[in-house]
A and B are shown apart, each in its own frame.
Chain A
Amino acid sequence: MSGEAPSFAWTSLTFLLVGAGAVLLVVGVAARDPVPLFLALPLLVAPPVAALTGMHRSAEFGLRWGAFGSAQEVRVSGVVTPVNAEDAPDLVVGFTRPASLVESRAPEVAWGEGEVTFRLHWAAPEPTVTTVLPPTVVWRDPTGLAERRATRAHDPIPVERFPPELLRLGGVRLEHTLALPGETPSHRIGPSGEFFGLREASPSEPPRRINWRATARTGRLLANEYEADRTGDVLVIVDARPTPLGRSIDERLLGVARAAAFGVADSFLREKARVGYASFGEFLDPVPLAGGRVQRLRIREAIRRTELARTGGPSERCAVAARRFFPNGVTTLLFTSLAEETTFDLVPHLRRRGYPVAVLSPSPLPLLPRTPPLDPRSEQLVERLERLERRSRVARAWQDAPVIDWQEYWSLGSLVNLLRHPGRGRGV
């Protein structure tokens, strides 16, 4: 890949020098005074000299980098290796932090022999799926007057942080929507499916699972193990319509929902389930059901391009459009904040078209600002009223489908419990 940006550029300092030099030149000529001219001379000569002396320099570089850490911690570290090792001391490395991450410590940049190493310390206050753009690298003349930019582009790296409970979600049994399910084996060993092997039987092993012939041959109890079939199909829908909460809170809620949607999709794809994804703003943006690593990439890209819509479409449009891309009967997880009246209509419309829906609703309460500051008693009262209003909204949505009121963004145990045991009531 190669960028289109020109490699050479003057810095803003050059314009300051040339401007000051021009003013001094005019003053010197007007006052017939040679002294300002002698001050103007170096200021006017320095930029072209800096450009000429640096014309064989280059900012082209190799990059080895990665994102590390777990949960809220995001560490990005790497090594920039310029094509010409002697250019390393004058490389200036810049970073762009994604909006959903915050800086926890100052970045560390160190110039070594022929390379520049960097380490960035960021944190994800909420679950997020984002990408970190490669650092911008320029070779800058030591006086800071001229610079050469790298033209070779490097790939961004993904950063995915979602609640750890979602990793256990893949074990949930889902409904099949294919005529011949079970053709794709999962990596899980389970109680049914294709024969996988033998193991020592446990004391509580059911008799049906004991392999009696093998037991007779070896003289000890052996049980069969099976390679479980693909668990089924799941559809993840993210409601990206604006609400009266305001764009800033809506975007943060959408960011949290996108991260959870990616975690859910990733977890089921690992278990060979087929996963579909759709975001609904003004129109539906679907990724049809499929499995495998390529589907993971497809869904990740679709989640990345999911943005808050300027105008929300009618709920029925979502359900009608979903019917074109997804078979009915597929287990559907809907991510919506339930902050707008129209979001309540979405569940019945989806159910009417044959989608069994469970709602995961990121609560806006942790994100609501407290302005102006109130005294502690009034603060408590306001919080209580907000909680009551939220509870009434969730209760209203429960009339149509099970709802998870997601307030602790780094925990989704209640969603896992609901999907594992759908009949056990509220997972709040």
Chain B
Amino acid sequence: MARSVPWHRGLASSVVLGGFLVYLAWSVHPEWAGVLLALAGVVSASLLRRRADALSRSAAPIPLVVVLGIVAVALPKTTSAEILVGGAAVLWLAWLADDPRRRPGGVARAIPTLAIVGFTVVVAWGSSTLLAYGSVSLGVAAVLLVAVVALVSILVARPELIRGEEAASS
């Protein structure tokens, strides 16, 4: 007999992610099949992660990965599609953080991780959009991206490194 979960736990993130996926699916093909696919993915994932057994809970993210993958392959090759798909992935990470079986407020606690991942997506999208195409610029962008992500992660993990010296008490 496992702990029962209040029905409203984790609902907000499911609604936001579901809405975003429905929007993406509708923008690919304005037909109900894509919308139904997105809704089925979100609903099944949300139901699975509320189940008592650990196996079902660990399988809960799979339907969403599948739906995201299908949508990403089906989307047209536009710069807006790139950033939208990246945003959907960040939203999916936020959905993971809003686990109904853990202490509420998971999304707030995951903000450092989500912000760095989102920042990475934005930097990558910006460099691919703004830089002229070429192997040299691609390499430079990749190295810069990795370095910046590592640096920001370490700074977030060790806030004392960026804290200034304490004012001396007179």
Contact flags A288-319 to B (C-beta < 8 A → 1, else 0): 00000000000000000000000000000000
Q: Is the CB of A13 within 8 A of B58?
A: yes
A56 at the interface (CB under 8 A from B): yes
How far, in whole Å, are A242 and B153 apart by their CA atoms in the complex? 59
Q: Which residues of B contact A36 (CB under 8 A)?
A: 69, 72-73, 85
Q: Is the CB of B125 within 8 A of A38?
A: yes
A114 at the interface (CB under 8 A from B): no
B15 at the interface (CB under 8 A from A): no
A66 at the interface (CB under 8 A from B): no
A223 at the interface (CB under 8 A from B): no
Q: Which of A34, A104, A111, A143 contacts B103 (CB 8 A)?
A: A111
Q: Which residues of A contact B121 (CB under 8 A)?
A: 38, 41-42
User: Which bracket fits the contact residues of B?
Assistant: 35 or more
Q: Is the CB of B99 within 8 A of A45?
A: no
Interface residues of B: mostly helix, strand, loop or mixed?
helix
Q: Which residues of A contact B1 (CB under 8 A)?
A: 103-106
**13 new A-B contacts at CB < 8 Å, known A49-B149, A142-B102:** A35-B72, A36-B73, A39-B86, A42-B90, A45-B117, A46-B113, A50-B113, A52-B156, A53-B112, A53-B153, A109-B3, A143-B96, A143-B114
Of residues 221 through 261 on chain A, the ones whose CB sits less than 8 Å from some CB of chain B are none
Q: Which residues of A contact B72 (CB under 8 A)?
A: 24, 35-36, 38-39
Chain A proximity of B98: nearest CB distance (Å): 9
How far, in whole Å, are A115 and B155 apart by their CA atoms in the complex? 27
Q: Which residue of A lies closest to B74 (CB)?
A: A35
The answer to whether residues A38 and B86 also contact, given A23-B69, A33-B77, A53-B112 and a CB cut-off of 8 A, is yes
Q: Which residue of B lies closest to A89 (CB)?
A: B103
Q: Which residue of B lies closest to A140 (CB)?
A: B102
Q: Is the CB of A34 within 8 A of B128?
A: yes
Spell out A's residues near B (CB within 8 Å): 12-13, 16, 20, 23-24, 27, 31, 33-39, 41-43, 45-46, 48-50, 52-56, 89-90, 92, 103-109, 111, 140-145
Q: Which residues of A contact B110 (CB under 8 A)?
A: 141-143
Chain B proximity of A99: nearest CB distance (Å): 16
B116 at the interface (CB under 8 A from A): yes
Of residues 23 through 54 on chain B, the ones whose CB sits less than 8 Å from some CB of chain A are none
Q: Which of B85, B97, B114, B154 contacts A35 (CB 8 A)?
A: B85
Cross-chain pair count, CB within 8 angstroms = 134
B68 at the interface (CB under 8 A from A): yes
How far, in whole Å, are A39 and B70 apart by their CA atoms in the complex? 11
Q: Is the CB of B77 within 8 A of A42?
A: no
Chain B proximity of A88: nearest CB distance (Å): 8
Of residues 108 through 127 on chain B, the ones whose CB sits less than 8 Å from some CB of chain A are 109-110, 112-114, 116-118, 120-121, 124-125
Q: Which residue of A lies closest to B160 (CB)?
A: A56
Q: Which residues of B contact A111 (CB under 8 A)?
A: 103
B11 at the interface (CB under 8 A from A): no
Chain A proximity of B157: nearest CB distance (Å): 5
Q: Is the CB of A42 within 8 A of B153?
A: no
B16 at the interface (CB under 8 A from A): no
Of residues 139 through 170 on chain B, the ones whose CB sits less than 8 Å from some CB of chain A are 149-150, 153-154, 156-158
Q: Which residue of B lies closest to A23 (CB)?
A: B69
Q: Which of B61, B82, B88, B109 contacts A34 (CB 8 A)?
A: B82
Q: Which residues of B contact A46 (CB under 8 A)?
A: 93, 113, 117
Q: Which residue of A lies closest to B116 (CB)?
A: A49
